[in-house]
Amino acid sequence: MTRRPTMNDIALDAGVSRATVSLVVRDSDQIPESTKQRVRASMERLGYVYNRVAGTMRGGGSRNLGLLLTNIQNPYLAEVSMAVEAAAQESEYTLLQGYSLGDVERERRLVRSMVENQVAGLIVMGAVESDGSAFDGLGGPRAVPLVTILRPIDSVAADHVGIDDRRAGRLLGAHLAALGARTVAVLGGFEGARMLEARLGGLREGLAGSPARIPTSMVVTDDGHGNYSSETGAHLVAELLERGSCPDAIVTYTDAYALGVHQGLRQHGIEPGADVALASFDNIPTAAQIHPTLTSVDSAPHLLGAEAFRLLTSRIAEPGGVAESVVVEPHLVIRQSTALWAPPTPA
């Protein structure tokens, strides 16, 4: 026999009916132990592997979920992926994973392919330009449950798990104000994107009441296609320094940029931490490993992933209803890159 054995084969071999085999697979207590033993022995001997695809098609819902991310070069998203996978494995779900690279066309293809594969639900970090058209087939009464993470998608009323970016900004702003920074630069982030606006707004709130300002000339955005590489950070800081004087503090959009800023500053003879305070968002592992260690706002990727999974599965269990939105609270991790800094003493 060259094909894989089926329940029929097992039934035949064990001298029972196919239905009985099916019940044994699910360990039903209608089946006496003696029969189970016999059936299991046949499975073992013939090398039977349950065909979940056929089972799903017949009856119960799919146990597959789709996880669509932009890019896991970004350690933050890598950790989200691992968190979702851990939760899925725990609950006996399987994960279809894909990367859009921030490209709307890839995103559309991936969503389509996951839905064609009958996923029970989707967790999506959308591309910046996502207009929701990739999710058209998912709306309406026969919707595939969808949870967006980090970036809500325009015109798609889905459950969402995000970060309180405003609060993240505020934490950082308050910290920099307390240090005595007077001028703060902001590097990176897609101009007009909600995330950047929220972080900037929060930063301003945190700085309010102190003499600190964020001069317009010191806000340098990128085009949002960032692959979150440190090179982006190096470019951004080069542009900043070209524009004029060095600020007291630099806030970058994500830790990866801060690494590039490190480099860029040193090339100009400026020592991060000592000459200028540097802080960022995401708190990737590297932040604690570079020198000087990097102050960063931690946004609990593990929690975010776990919440996204929880929200998705509860929506699968209980479809419909109004979209829910969960916010993960960030916390500030203060390290050398700001702690070492002090305002220049007026000589």
Partner DNA sequence: GTGAAAGCGCTAACAT
Partner DNA sequence: ATGTTAGCGCTTTCAC
Name the residues that contact DNA, by CB under 7 A: 3-4, 6-8, 11, 15-20, 22-23, 25-26, 30-32, 35, 50-51, 54-55, 57-60
Q: Are 166 and 195 in contact (CB under 8 A)?
A: no
Cα-Cα-Cα-Cα torsion 64, 68, 72, 75, nearest 10 degrees, comes to -80
Indicate which of a copy of itself, DNA, none lies near residue 60 (CB less than 5 to 8 Å, by partner kind).
DNA
DSSP 3-state of 271: coil
- How far apart, in whole angstroms, are the C-alpha atoms of residue 39 and residue 211? 78
Q: Does 109 bind a copy of itself (CB under 8 A)?
A: yes
**Of the residues 6, 22, 35, 118, which one makes contact with a copy of itself according to CB under 8 A:** 118
Binding mask 17-46 for a copy of itself (x = CB under 8 A): ------------------------------
Q: What minimum distance in Å lies between the beta carbon of 35 and DNA?
A: 4
Rounded to a whole number of angstroms, the distance between the first and last alpha carbons of the chain is: 90
Q: Does 115 bind a copy of itself (CB under 8 A)?
A: yes
Q: What minimum distance in Å lies between the beta carbon of 34 and DNA?
A: 7
- How far apart, in whole angstroms, are the C-alpha atoms of residue 25 and residue 185? 62
Decide whether 34 or 216 has the Cβ nearer to DNA: 34
Q: Which two tokens stand for residue 7?
A: 């329940």
Indicate which of a copy of itself, DNA, none lies near residue 325 (CB less than 5 to 8 Å, by partner kind).
none
Q: What minimum distance in Å lies between the beta carbon of 143 and a copy of itself?
A: 10
Q: Which of residues 290-329 bind a copy of itself (CB under 8 A)?
A: 290-291
Q: Are 195 and 150 in contact (CB under 8 A)?
A: yes
Binding mask 184-203 for a copy of itself (x = CB under 8 A): --------------------
Residue 112 CA, chain-centre distance (Å), reads 20
| β pairing state of 325-328 and 159-163 | parallel
Binding mask 214-253 for a copy of itself (x = CB under 8 A): ---------------xx-----------------------
Burial 11-25 (b: 16+ CB within 10 A, else e): bbbbebeeebbbbbb
Q: Are 146 and 158 in contact (CB under 8 A)?
A: yes
Indicate which of DNA, a copy of itself, none lies near residue 290 (CB less than 5 to 8 Å, by partner kind).
a copy of itself
Decide whether 56 or 263 has the Cβ nearer to DNA: 56
**Of the residues 19, 41, 53, 157, which one makes contact with a copy of itself according to CB under 8 A:** 53
Burial 246-267 (b: 16+ CB within 10 A, else e): bbbbbbbbbbbbbbbbbebbee
Indicate which of a copy of itself, DNA, none lies near residue 270 (CB less than 5 to 8 Å, by partner kind).
none
Decide whether 22 or 118 has the Cβ nearer to a copy of itself: 118
**Of the residues 6, 97, 183, 221, which one makes contact with a copy of itself according to CB under 8 A:** 97
Q: What minimum distance in Å lies between the beta carbon of 145 and DNA?
A: 18
Q: Are 214 and 204 in contact (CB under 8 A)?
A: yes
Q: Which two tokens stand for residue 233?
A: 């950070």
Decide whether 46 or 104 has the Cβ nearer to DNA: 46
- How far apart, in whole angstroms, are the C-alpha atoms of residue 116 and residue 144? 11
